[in-house]
Amino acid sequence: MIRLPITEADLHAYVDGILPAERAAEIEAYLAEHPEDAARVASYCEQTASLHRVFDPMLDEPLPQRLEVPRPLWVRPALRYAAVVAWLALGGVAGWHLHEYRAAGQFEATTWARRAAVAHVTYSPEVRHPVEVGAAEEAHLVRWLSKRLGASVKAPHLGDLGYSLVGGRLLPGDRGPVAQFMYQDGKGQRLTLYLRRDAGKQRETAFRFSRERGVGVFYWIDGGLGYALSGEIDKPELLRVATAVYRQLNP
């Protein structure tokens, strides 16, 4: 049998795993007799392996907001569509409320609660993708959201009340990014905590409550962050959770 000479191109094709088995075997036989080339080939294989080791984790990262392709052109499944419809409806309602609430602060606050409720009804029914980053990566989640909001945020632990953290996501708000943490109890009942940096004059406010189409929302401002806790549970229960959240963030 006449063997073709081994070329530099063959060595790279071998590294890239694209040679037919027979030719690959010839290369291996050659490498066994040429330790310098063998070392080189081993090093090239290791280069490819480390590229994957170091850069592959990026494939699983949530995309930064600016790389999400602009909606509504990119409306994906029904949920996003529902979210857009909800937002359009919200605009209408908010416009109408402008007449009702002349005081700008009051208007702002009710809009905030309504947005929290819309975000709650949009994401809490999600089965497969309720959050962008799961609770298993809580430290990363909190770091990421803190960075995007430009403020130190924490995910309160509500295990004592029977709610465990599912994870969180980043959402667009009218004045910058908003974070949403999701919790769930043993029966699958979900609560969401919606928060953003609040640069308004008020550093803190009392709890306020509003009910938006069946979703209860307690909302307040504390330490320069605006919070809204939403859930489809009765008011006393929701208040109990809101109080626990507040206490944890103000130990």
Partner 1 sequence: MADLRAQIEDQIPRLRRYARALTGDRTLADDLVQDTLERALTRFHLWRHGSDLRAWLFTIMHNIFVNQARSRLRHRHESLESNAAVEAMQAPEPDWLQLRDLDRALAQLPHEQRTVLLLVGLEQFTYEEAARVLQVPIGTVMSRLSRGRERLRMVLAGDSNVSALKVVK
Binding site for partner 1 (CB under 8 A): 8-9, 12, 15-16, 18, 40, 43-44, 47-48, 50-61, 63-64, 66-67, 69, 73-76, 137, 140, 143-144, 147
CB of 140 to partner 1, least distance (A): 5
CB of 48 to partner 1, least distance (A): 4
Of 13 and 93, which has the nearer Cβ to partner 1? 13
Of 48 and 164, which has the nearer Cβ to partner 1? 48
CB of 58 to partner 1, least distance (A): 4
CA atoms within 13 A on the CB side of 172: 11
Helix (H) or strand (E) holding 238: helix 235-249
Question: Strands 190-197 and 215-222, how do they pair?
Answer: unpaired
Burial of residue 85 (CB within 10 Å: 0-12, 13-18, 19+) is exposed
Q: What whole-number distance in Å separates Cα of residue 251 and Cα of residue 246?
A: 9
Of 111 and 146, which has the nearer Cβ to partner 1? 146
Structure tokens at 6: 């081994």
Of 45 and 239, which has the nearer Cβ to partner 1? 45
Triad 223, 228, 233: Cα angle to 5°: 140
Phi, psi of 241 (to 5 degrees): -70, -45
CB of 96 to partner 1, least distance (A): 32
Do residues 61 and 32 lie in contact, with contact meaning Cβ atoms separated by under 8 Å?
Answer: no
Of 52 and 240, which has the nearer Cβ to partner 1? 52
**Among candidates 206, 210, 207, which has minimal Cα distance to 241?**
207
Tokens 């029966």 appear where? 187
Task: Say what angle helices 35-55 and 21-33 make with each other, to 10 degrees.
Answer: 120
Of 1 and 73, which has the nearer Cβ to partner 1? 73
CB of 20 to partner 1, least distance (A): 15
CB of 216 to partner 1, least distance (A): 35
